[in-house]
Structure 1
Amino acid sequence: MVFIELLALAAVALGAVLVPATGKDLLEGGVVIGLGVLAAEMANEVERRRRRFSDTPHVNFSSVWTLAGALVLPPALAAVVAVVLYAHLWVRCWRGVPGLYVSRTAFNVSNVIVSTQAAAWAVRELDIVSGALDRGVLGAAGVLAIIALYYVVNSAIAAITIALAGADRTARRLLGRLNENILELATLCLGAATALLLAWHPWLALLMLLPLYALHRSALIRQFEHAATTDSKTSLLNAASWRAIAQAELDRARQHGTTAAILMIDIDHFRKVNNTYGHLAGDDALRALGETLRAMVRSNDLCGRFGGEEFVVVLPGCASADDVLAVANRIRERIASTPVTAQSTGATFSVTVSIGAAYFPATGMSLDELLLAADNALYGAKDAGRNQARVVEAT
């Protein structure tokens, strides 16, 4: 973190010496800062709520203005834009949010400065902005290259730092969710459009404020939706959401005459994990099992945490006991072979699961009937010695 902060300071100092700002540059910098502050004030309450929900790399939409600054301003002045906007966000939105500290914000703004410096120097060397206005497809390709450069530098610094600072090095933790990355790329595209508007007709940059505010609100709604439907420990569907979606899937199967299967999965001797490694290690086991389930099933399968150490999966299209059993055994074997690391102690252990399965319509017509049948099969797997998969045969 200190290295990135020093690198940012060195880059700004070098830029100030090699590319001094003119009066016109200062005026344009003031416009970018003014627009950025105005946009942040419009979305002040929304950003505060979004920040409280974020547990992965957070997209705060300031990239619209920092990238615009990198495209139209000298490198050092682009860094000033980032510092002012992040200072404003700290004072107005982030101060007082648990887990957010001045040191962390200072690192984040240093990361943004390094990213803007890389983008600003590339813009200056390749004459990107005027090229985009004058050279058609080649100019557009240049703008896309700058967006990619900014994104890669910023994401790489964040990911490397998170990896060095903690034991959780999953892709989701290092890079954030796919939705967050798409959101960041969307803000960078808006930033490029803002820069082109500033270079062509500065007053038109005001048109970015309302779409940006709407984007803020839609991102908050998505976070609310995610919090309401997702189990916090495993990032799978929670029980209520899984049941509602599973019921809709069965209704669809009934309407179209197709099939579906239910898996009920229970961790073997979960209490022993908690007693041996601690309850935090139990949470790590739940999280690891959730990640394994997501990796093993298809995109249209529905995984949920049913409660405690029980998980459920809907498998649309599984038509026979053999098909269901094959899927269940693949999942069971992958879980047994996947090591779990206790974040609190660093200890490594493994868990096994027992799985009960039932399938529609042969072993049940309603969701409750299928769950009961799968639960009975699960108890049969446990009675057989655990680390087993059993499926209810059609009668």
Structure 2
Amino acid sequence: MRVRAFVMTVVLAATVVTVAAAVSARVTFEDIRSCLVLVGLGIGAAEMARQVERRRRRFADTPHVNFSSVWTFAASLVLPGALTVAVVVALYLHLWLRSWRGIPGVHLHRTLFSACNVILSCQMAAWCARGVSVVPLEHDLGVMSLLGAAAVIGVFFTVNSALVGTVIGLSLGTSSRRRLTGPANENLLELATVCMGLVTAVLLTLAPWLVAFLVFPLYALHRSALVRQFEHAATRDSKTGLLNIASWRALADSELRRAEKTNGALSILLIDVDHFALVNVVHGEDVGDRVLKATGAALSSVVRNTDLCGRLGGDEFVVMLPGNNADEVLAIAHRIRDSIATVEVAPASGHSPRITVSIGAAAYTTAGTDLDDLLRAADNALFAAKDRGRNRVVVS
């Protein structure tokens, strides 16, 4: 109910903004020409990348970047408000009819919300641009204009992200930053498209014929984003977002070879969720999946970006820690255990299951020099941790 009320509020606000812009509009022939150019290039770019966009949309489980901001943000800087709305409506209608319709989970009301979100973001950006004297773009662009343009980009990005994050938070009942805002690379991609929108607006004002050359780098950017999504899907475990076993082994072998050449330190942790089968029986597999996801998130929050975190399968996780000595590895293992012990997963009914883990550690070269030897030694230490009562760390 709250989601529906919020969406209707956004739609109503976009409608009011559209009506106000239409009433106060002073449209010239140059404005109409620029509007048609932006719509034409936007639709042309979308047609070029149609199959790419459909594949990317199928993979999207976080806020999705569709690259239309290149044209809609440019419109907010060079067109009257009414024509900016026309650009947004035309591009999102085309995206729905040609790229998104028929994709599971992509519904018309979501596209309507997205379009209204962009209308409001464009209007706020236009107001900011006038306030800091970024527009009209014909005047000399100095250092202050650069700072003003950065502020306008920030306003567009912030409003857009805030509205999307709010509707996600209300619909999923989550406060997770990553779920609300999406991964950092998606946010960088959105910022890149908005910056391209600024360039588009400048070119459209000073040298309109050069705008057509933006279509091809935009298509290349679209394809590279799809490749990145494919790579992520191929290398990551779907439930936890950690490395899958095949990717983990490939990277672990590489780290092990580096340790052999440099005589460096390296250790492996095997982590098993205690009584996980009982969680599935008592609370159901859905809660079990959430336990795995929460465990993976807690694990990632403790280790470094250079450490290799993966899910071996079932309720077992593995971490390779390059460059750590025995004392450091033991301290990290205890931090992981303590971090996971604080995780709470709310079941549909009853009490939240208490999550604890047992950890087995093995160091190169003390426990072995081969990856399988290290894994075997860590596995033996893990069994010892379970035999001693679980929720503890044992070093091989």
Category of TM-score, reference length = shorter chain: over 0.9
Counterpart amino acid of residue 340 in structure 2:
I
Q: In the superposition, relative to structure 1, how do residues 192 and 347 fare at CA in structure 2: closer, same or farther (>3 Å)?
A: farther
Take 1:164 and 1:79, find their aligned partners in 2: how far apart are those partners?
A: 27
- Measured in 1, the distance between the counterparts of 2:350 and 2:90 equals 40
Matched, 1:337 2:321: no
2:286 is the alignment partner of 1:284: no
Q: Partners in 1 of 2:232 and 2:127 — Cα distance?
A: 39
Describe how 1:144-159 pairs up with structure 2 within 5 A: 144-159=150-165
Q: Matched residues in 2 for 1:325 and 1:125: separation? A: 56
Name 1:208's counterpart in structure 2: 214
Partners of 2:29 and 2:130 lie apart in 1 by 18
Corresponding residue to 1:88 among 87, 94, 119: 94
Aligned length: 390
Distance in 1 separating the partners of 2:296 and 2:193: 31
The corresponding residue for 2:388 is 384
Shift of 1:133: 5.0
Paired with 2:151 and 2:139, the residues of 1 have a C-alpha distance of 15
Secondary structure (helix, strand or coil) at the match of 1:264 reads strand
Distance 1:278 1:20 in 2: 61
The match for 2:228 is 222
C-alpha distance in 2 between matches for 1:137 and 1:20: 30
Other-structure match for 1:32: 38
Distance 1:387 1:114 in 2: 51
Per the TM alignment, residue 157 of structure 1 is displaced from its structure 2 partner at its CA by: 0.6
Partner of 2:362: 358
Structure 1: segments with no counterpart, 5+ residues: none
Gaps of 5+ in 2: 1-6
Identity %: 53
Does 2:121 correspond to 1:115? Answer: yes
Q: Distance in 2 between matches of 1:110 and 1:51?
A: 19
Q: Please tell me the root mean square deviation across aligned C-alpha atoms, in Å.
A: 1.3
Whichever residue aligns with residue 351 of structure 1, its letter is: I
SS at match of 1:340: coil
Match of 2:12 in 1: 6
1:198-240 Cα offsets, whole Å, 9 max, x none, are: 0101111011001000000000000000000000100000000
Corresponding position of 1:76: 82
C-alpha distance 24-346 of structure 1, shift in aligned 2 (>3 A): farther
Render the CA deviation track for 1:54-91: whole Å, top value 9, x for unaligned: 00000000000010000100112111111110000011
Q: CA–CA distance in 1 between the matches of 2:135 and 2:60?
A: 34
Structure 2 equivalent of residue 349 of structure 1:
353
Could you tell me how far apart the structure 2 residues matched to 1:349 and 1:79 are? Answer: 50
1:46 aligns with 2:52: yes
Specify which of 188, 202, 207 is matched with residue 196 of structure 1: 202
CA contact (8 A) 2:299 2:339 kept: no
Sort the Cα spacing of 1:132 and 1:168 in 2 relative to 1 into closer, same or farther, 3 A. farther
Give the deviation of 1:14 after TM superposition.
Answer: 1.1
Contact 1:268 1:387 in 2 (8 A): yes
1:169, distance to aligned residue in structure 2 (A): 2.7
Question: What residue is the counterpart of 2:376 in the other structure?
Answer: 372
The residue type equivalent to 1:45 in the other structure is: Q
Which stretch of the first structure deviates more once superposed, 153-162 or 332-341? 332-341
The TM-score, its normalising length taken from structure 1, stands at 0.96
SS at 1:314 equivalent:
strand
Is 1:186 the counterpart of 2:192? The answer is yes
Instruction: In structure 2, give the amino acid aligned to 1:339.
Output: E
Structure 1 pair 359/41, CA: closer, same or farther in 2 (3 Å)? same
The question of whether the paired residues in 2 share the 8 Å contact of 1:133 and 1:139 is answered with no
Q: Deviations over 1:298-339 (max 9, x none)?
A: 11111000110000000111222x322221111111111221
1:332–1:353 Cα contact (<8 Å) kept? yes
Aligned to 2:330: 325
Conserved? CA contact 1:75–1:121, under 8 Å = no
Is the 1:264–1:374 Cα contact (8 Å) retained in structure 2?
A: yes
Is the 1:133–1:196 Cα contact (8 Å) retained in structure 2?
Answer: no
* In structure 1, C-alpha distance between the alignment counterparts of 2:349 and 2:212, rounded to whole Å: 52
Residue 245 of structure 2 is matched in structure 1 by 239
Give 2:256's match in structure 1, choosing from 229, 250, 253: 250
Q: Is the 8 A contact 1:132 1:138 kept in 2?
A: no
Taking structure 2 as the reference length, what is the TM-score of the superposition?
Answer: 0.96
Shift of 1:26: 1.4
